[in-house]
Amino acid sequence: MRDRVTENEPYTGDDVKVASSSRTFVAQNFTKWYWGLRGFARQRPVSAFWLAISVFLILMAIFAPLIAPHEPNKPDFLNIKTEPNRSDIFGTDQLGRDYFSRTIFGARVSLLIAFTSVALGTAIGGVLGILGGYLGGTFDLISQRFLEVLMAVPGLLLAIILVLSMGAGASAVIIAIAVTRLPTTSRVLRAETMSIKETQYIDSARSIGASPLRVMIVHVAPQTVASFIVIFTASLGTAILTEASLGFLGLGIAPPTATWGGMLGEAAVTLIPDWWMVLFPGMFITLTVLAFNLFGDGLRDVLDPRARGRI
């Protein structure tokens, strides 16, 4: 069934074009985006569902002040650790703060940190990868050895070390998570660049007098956009997990700011934590990671012409 749809679906070519066009998207390519999304929804309905969840979570984070019924950081000592009820549908924490509002505001921190750190990490990693793959030689050698050192240390451990050395705070967390994203991105884009470099259109670009920088920006980079998008999406899940782990360990954003990891950490202080204090932040972490990862998987299947037709 799926195979048939895949074979007869002519949109995928356009979809690649959508992904790699360098023009300003929204206005000019509205129709293209519409058809791209429609095709994606048809070909990968499950991934499209998770895309919808992702979008929902992002909107929730953006409009948190409008959605949250209470101040997320306002203690209410008369209602400490109340079970979910009509006014506090996720219950309250040890300071009587509304758990629902905190969870919604927690999405802001998680998503903001995840997006900025992943954007930073994959962008720098991508640039290193393309430069190394295209130029080769000493630059490639040195940058790759440096990244291999990073790769040798487990991501969370690396992030902990970096946060500890920089001191807790939003920027430290962002930089720490970004660094853990460097090796993968640069490895993938480097390999891709090396194969693109051997194609004839790179020769023909050089034969019209394009400088190495120009060849990389105009001819190599747009080809890697598909991989880049997939790495970006897949990295989001990991970044959210790392951020939550750091928050849980008390190395994330300082209290009283609500973060999912931090909320779990506060709940875990008690010997037997109250179920709602663990369930809701945990559920949202799981949901977000799942949403980004499964959407990323579907995106990879659609954008990678070699994987097409496989499930």
Partner 1 sequence: MNPTAHKTDLQFPTDMDLDGTRPLLEVRNLRTSFFGRGEEVRAVDDVSFSLKTGETLGLVGESGCGKSVTALSILRLVPEPQGKILGGEVWLDGVDLLSLPDEGIRAVRGSQIGMIFQEPMTSLNPVLSIGRQLTETLEIHLGMTKHAAKDRAAELLNMVGIPDATSRLLDYPHQLSGGQRQRVMIAIALSCDPKLIIADEATTALDVTIQAQILELLARLTDDLGTALMIITHNLGVVARYADRVNVMYAGKIRESGSADEIYDTPRHPYTVGLLDSVPRLDRPKGSRLKSIEGEIPDLANLPTGCAYRPRCTYAVDRCAAENPPLAKVGDSHASACWEWPRLAEEQGQTVVS
Q: Decide: is 211 part of the binding site for partner 1 (CB under 8 A).
A: yes
The Cα 221–Cα 214 span in angstroms is: 10
Options 39-47, 108-116, 193-201, 253-261: segment touching partner 1 (CB under 8 A): 193-201
Q: Decide: is 201 part of the binding site for partner 1 (CB under 8 A).
A: yes
Residue from the set 85, 214, 250, 283 that interacts with partner 1 by CB under 8 A = 214
The Cα 24–Cα 212 span in angstroms is: 25
Residue from the set 85, 87, 171, 204 that interacts with partner 1 by CB under 8 A = 204
The Cα 134–Cα 180 span in angstroms is: 23
Q: Which residues, at least 6 apart from 39, have a Cβ–Cβ distance to it below 8 Å? A: 9, 11, 12, 14, 15
Q: How far is the CB of 205 from partner 1 (least distance, A)?
A: 7
Residue from the set 75, 84, 169, 222 that interacts with partner 1 by CB under 8 A = 222
Using the 8-state DSSP alphabet, how is residue 253 labeled? Answer: S
Given a contact cutoff of 8 angstroms between Cβ atoms, the answer to whether 153 and 165 are in contact is no
The Cα 182–Cα 185 span in angstroms is: 6
Q: How far is the CB of 121 from partner 1 (least distance, A)?
A: 25
Q: Decide: is 229 part of the binding site for partner 1 (CB under 8 A).
A: no
Q: How far is the CB of 36 from partner 1 (least distance, A)?
A: 15
Options 16-24, 118-126, 145-153, 301-309: segment touching partner 1 (CB under 8 A): 16-24
Given a contact cutoff of 8 angstroms between Cβ atoms, the answer to whether 69 and 101 are in contact is yes
Compare residues 167 and 209 and give the one whose CB is closer to partner 1: 209
Compare residues 83 and 203 and give the one whose CB is closer to partner 1: 203
Rg of the chain on CA atoms, in Å: 22
Q: Decide: is 10 part of the binding site for partner 1 (CB under 8 A).
A: no
Tokens (6 digits) for 26: 């929204």
Given a contact cutoff of 8 angstroms between Cβ atoms, the answer to whether 177 and 117 are in contact is yes
- Number of neighbours of residue 157 by Cβ within 10 angstroms: 10
Q: Decide: is 203 part of the binding site for partner 1 (CB under 8 A).
A: yes
Q: Decide: is 139 part of the binding site for partner 1 (CB under 8 A).
A: no
From 235, 142, 220, select the one nearest 185 (Cα to Cα).
Answer: 235
Q: How far is the CB of 203 from partner 1 (least distance, A)?
A: 6
Q: How far is the CB of 222 from partner 1 (least distance, A)?
A: 5
For the four alpha carbons of 73, 74, 78 and 84, in that order, the dihedral sign comes to negative
Q: Decide: is 195 part of the binding site for partner 1 (CB under 8 A).
A: no
Residues that bind partner 1 (CB under 8 A): 13, 16-17, 20-21, 199-201, 203-211, 214, 218-219, 222-223
